[in-house]
Amino acid sequence: MQKREAAFVVLFRPDGRLYCVENNKGQVGVPGGKREFDRDARLWHTAQREFEEETGGPLCLGELPYIQFAEAHYLCRFYYARISATLAACLPVGRVHDPAGTEQHVFWGTPAPDNMRAHVRAGLFLIDTVAR
C-alpha cells in the first residue's frame, strides 16, 4: 500500500504571527494538502501548488527547510521559514476562493491550538522545537 503524503507551508513574520488559512468550517490551518501523484513530482511541488490554490498567490521562495513525521499510512511534511515584514506584506490576505469554489479566509495570526487541525498542531510543535 502506497503511503499517502501531504505537504504544508509554515511562514512566520518577525513578530511571530503565522500565515493561516481558515476554511468554511472554522478550522484553522496553514496552506497545504495532499500530494497528487499525477501532478506533483515531489512534495515541494505539492506545497507550492496547494499554497497557490489556498491563498490565491504563488509561493515566491526557494525550496524551504522542512520537518516531517509519519503516522499510520500518512507522511506529513512541513516546509517552514521566518520571513521579513516586507515579504509578509506582499502575501495575499482576506477572502479567497480555492479552485473548487470554496471560500477561505487567509490571515496573519496566532490561532488558538484547539481550533487547529491535529496534524498542524503537531507540525507547529516540531518546528518550534527544531527551529529554536
Report the pLDDT averaged over residues 33-40: 94
The amino acid occupying position 109 is G
CB atoms within 10 A of CB 118: 9
Q: Which CATH architecture group holds 4-130?
A: Alpha-Beta Complex (3.90)
pLDDT at 119 exceeding the cut of 80: no
CB atoms within 10 A of CB 122: 16
Instruction: Please write the tens of the pLDDT for every residue from 39-86.
Output: 999 999 999 999 999 999 999 899 999 999 887 788 999 999 999 999
pLDDT at 121 exceeding the cut of 90: no
Tell me the percentage of the chain whose pLDDT exceeds 70.
97
pLDDT at 13 exceeding the cut of 80: yes
Biggest alpha carbon–alpha carbon distance for the chain: 44
pLDDT at 1 exceeding the cut of 60: no
The amino acid occupying position 113 is P
Report the pLDDT averaged over residues 74-101: 91
Strand partners of residue 59: none
- Grid cell, residue 115, equals 481550533
Q: pTM for this one?
A: 0.90
- Sorted by where each begins, the domain ranges of the chain are 4-130
